[in-house]
Amino acid sequence: MTEKTGTEKTALTPATHTAPPAKFSHGVRKGNILQVAGQVGFLPAVEGQAPTVAGRTLREQTLQTFANVRAILEEGGASWDDVMMMRVYLTDVDHFAEMNAIYNAYFEEQGLKEAPAARTTVYVGLPKGLLIEIDALAVLG
Q: Torsions phi, psi of 24, nearest 5?
A: -145, 170
The sign of the CA dihedral 66, 88, 78, 13 is positive
Looking at the DSSP assignment, which residues form a beta bridge with residue 120?
A: 88
Using 50, 70 and 90 to split pLDDT, how confident is the model at 124? confident
Note the pLDDT tens digit of each residue in 54-104: 999 999 999 999 999 999 999 999 999 999 999 999 999 999 999 999 999
Flag whether pLDDT at 6 surpasses 90: no
pLDDT at position 135: 98
Local structure of residue 15 (DSSP, 8 states): T
Distance (Å, rounded) from C-alpha 48 to C-alpha 119? 35
Tell if the pTM clears 0.75, that is, is over it.
yes
The per-residue pLDDT for range 32-48, each reduced to its tens digit, is 999 999 999 999 999 88
- Nearest CA to 66 out of 118, 25, 127, 140 is that of 118
Distance CA 97, CA 38 (A): 21
